[in-house]
Amino acid sequence: MTSAAQPTEVIGQEPPFVSARAIILPSIVAVMFLLFWDGAVRLSGSQLFPKPLDVLWGLVELAQKGLLIKYVVASLFRVTWGFTLAVIVGIPFGLLMGSNKLVQEAFNPLIQGFRPISPIAWIPVSILWFGVSDAAPVFLIFLASVFPITVSTAAAVKSVQSVYLRAADNFGLTKFQLFSRVIFPASLPQIVTGLRIGLGIAWLVVVAAEMIAVNSGLGYLIIDARNAGKRYDLVVAGMVLIGVIGWLLDLLMRQVERFQTVKWAYGTLHD
Amino acid sequence: MIEPPAQNLPTERTGPAAVLVRDVWMDFPVKQGSQAVPVLERINVEIQRGEFVCVVGPSGCGKTTLLNIIAGFLNASRGEVQVEGEPVHGPDPRRIVIFQEGSVFPWLTVSANVGFALSRKTAAERNQIVQHYIDMVGLTGFESAYLRQLSGGMRQRVEIARALAANPEVLYMDEPFGALDYFTRFKMRADLVRIWQQEKKTILFVTHDIDEAIQLADRVVVLSSRPSTIRLILSVSLPRPRDLNSRDYLDTRDRILHALGMSLQNGIPPDAGD
């Protein structure tokens, strides 16, 4: 019988996925974009809009003043708090909604009604409640990410294959074991996807919140650079930072998707 | 041609039957309010301890429904199922189902799957049992592999090992090899017979493959197409390993085909199958 189990039967080993092409091709596109940007600004003769090198010097200036680290940390701090609160509330509530029809029926309409309200629309209310403080953007980030996390967790629980539940039932699991040993691990991949979406939205929202509700962070940097002397080199530098950090956050979440405990559900890796 | 159900094998009759299916009927309501569809009618089967019984019938005839009723996942419309003299009210770890679609947990390694039902044992005991059954089903060396790294046949081996590790008295198998290729299926059957002989479990095995049933079973229960009734219960007394070219083997197959109103000469009548 051991002949049926030769190591050659093992399938699903991924080849190393970073090829030279995967680096060269996007680099060419990026360089072309920068050249186009530079040329367009020169042609238009704009005094305000920065060329790519101006933005680079802007970043250097921010770093020298100590603002770069300070503002990045401020934004990340708010996202961390708001997102963590959303995880703490969203996952348990999603699990409850997904596994209990009554809770689902009772709360779903309310959630679906709140969900389309842009977190930006909450800014005046959050300033009313929390004033100009860190609590306001944390609250907005919480609001922005709690809905996708809750909804995708509930959907994950509902889509657990019934054959797993029947097998668990057959092995005589208690209600708690069924949850901790089957329903939760079976839902985890889709929950992680919900977290990734939630974090992406949180990063979008922190910038908007900081433009209005506080005096630090990358959103504040952008609006402040514009208001105090039309420093568009710093405006675009702030945008570049937002883009790069958002990208890094997403890459971080994708690393979570590579863990064996969730990887099984994603099929081939979608990097 | 409907034969009266054969008598049970004269194996050791020290107590009640391992599994007793008594006058089970099943209707399925397709939609609420609409006419119920009869699926099973008057099913009577008695399985002795340690016996290997196959249920064969055309696709869609209600074999899986019958298995789900026997395993306690479904309630029969009428009749009852007893295990060791006790009526069945639900699934029980003493009777493990091996599912057609595969229920091995993809978020766990082979070892963790096989040890799934052993959380009450000490780590040392658990490891020993897990290794024993991994070796038995031929997955030695794949202890830390995940489902996605295994072939279809290997996945069903994990499923079997996990069931055996729970030390059930009865295994219910629902077309466990249905999705496998010919060669793998062939090998799995031989291995299953060997495991059954080692472990002395009672096995109820559902399949639509008549050859598979004759290769495996002590007795074959032949179901008609829906609404299913028992057409024939046939003892297969061929010695194991079974010679698939022997006269007796071919005769047995002919009798089953005949009971289903089919023959190898005339093919399948239009109402057979699903």
Q: Where are the domains of chain A?
A: 53-263
Residue spans of alpha helices (H) in A66-174: 67-99, 101-114, 123-130, 135-158, 162-170
Residue ranges for chain B with pLDDT beneath 50: 1-12, 272-274
Full pLDDT tens readout for chain A, 271 residues: 344 444 444 444 455 566 788 889 999 999 999 999 999 999 998 888 999 999 999 999 999 999 999 999 999 999 999 999 999 999 999 999 999 999 999 999 999 999 899 998 998 999 899 988 889 999 999 999 999 999 999 999 999 999 999 999 999 999 899 999 999 999 999 999 999 999 999 999 999 999 887 889 999 999 999 988 889 999 999 999 999 999 999 999 998 888 888 888 886 544 3
The pLDDT of residue A33 is 96
What's the Cα-to-Cα distance from B82 to each of B16, B20, B46, rounded to whole Å?
A: 9, 5, 9
Sheet of strand B19-29, all strands in order from the earlier edge strand to the far edge:
B36-47, B19-29, B78-83, B86-87
Minimum-distance CB partner of B138 among A5, A264, A265: A5
pLDDT digits (tens, 9 = 90+) for B135-157: 989 999 999 999 888 988 999 99
The pLDDT of residue A233 is 92
Minimum-distance CB partner of B141 among A7, A163, A265: A7
A232-256 vs A184-212: helix crossing angle, rounded to 10: 170
The pLDDT of residue A18 is 67
Residue B166, judged by CB atoms within 10 A of its CB (0-12, 13-18, 19+), counts as buried
The pLDDT of residue B24 is 87
CATH code of the domain made up of A53-263: 1.10.3720.10
Q: B98, B99, B107, B149: best mutation site toward chain A, by most A Cβ within 10 Å?
A: B107
What's the Cα-to-Cα distance from A192 to each of A99, A187, A252, A266, B245, rounded to whole Å?
A: 18, 9, 12, 11, 55
The pLDDT of residue B273 is 44
Give chain B's mean pLDDT: 86
- Any bridge partners for residue B21, and if so which? B45, B81
| Residue in B with minimal Cα distance to A1 | B138
DSSP H/E element including B257: helix B247-259
Q: To which residue do tokens 């005991």 refer?
A: B125
Minimum-distance CB partner of A2 among B90, B108, B138: B138
The pLDDT of residue B31 is 67
Residues of A in contact with B143 (CB under 8 A): none
β-pair type (B230-235, B202-207): unpaired
CB pairs under 8 A between A and B: 92
CA distance A200 to B8: 66
| Residue in B with minimal Cα distance to A12 | B149
The pLDDT of residue B1 is 42
Q: Which long-range contacts (CB under 8 A, 24 or more apart) does A2-9 make?
A: A2/B138, A2/B140, A3/B138, A4/B138, A4/B153, A4/B154, A4/B157, A4/B184, A4/B187, A4/B191, A5/B138, A5/B139, A5/B140, A5/B141, A5/B142, A5/B154, A5/B157, A7/B141, A9/B150, A9/B151, A9/B154
Length of chain A: 271
Cβ neighbours of A204 (radius 10 Å): 16
Which residues, other chains included, contact B146 with Cβ-Cβ below 8 Å and sequence gap of 6+? A260, A263, A264, B106, B108, B109, B110
The pLDDT of residue B169 is 92
The pLDDT of residue A48 is 86
Residues of B in contact with A11 (CB under 8 A): 148-151
Complete domains list, chain B, with CATH:
12-41+51-94+170-264 (3.40.50.300), 106-167 (no CATH)
Q: To which residue do tokens 């189990």 refer?
A: A5
Answer whether B273's CB lies under 8 Å from B58's CB.
Answer: yes
CA distance B124 to A129: 57
Length of chain B: 274
Answer whether B206's CB lies under 8 Å from B63's CB.
Answer: yes
Cβ neighbours of B121 (radius 10 Å): 15
Minimum-distance CB partner of A172 among B92, B141, B153: B92
Q: To which residue do tokens 């005589």 refer?
A: A172
The pLDDT of residue B265 is 62
| Residue in B with minimal Cα distance to A181 | B116
This complex has an ipTM of: 0.85
Q: A171, A191, A259: best mutation site toward chain B, by most B Cβ within 10 Å?
A: A171
Query: Tell me, what DSSP letter sits at residue A179?
Result: I
CA distance A240 to A232: 12
Answer whether A79's CB lies under 8 Å from A134's CB.
Answer: no
Minimum-distance CB partner of A4 among B95, B103, B138: B138
The pLDDT of residue A15 is 52
CA distance B223 to B213: 12
CA distance A173 to A262: 22
Instruction: Answer yes or no: do B106 and A170 touch at CB < 8 A.
Output: no
Residues of B in contact with A13 (CB under 8 A): 149
Instruction: Answer yes or no: do A167 and B153 touch at CB < 8 A.
Output: no
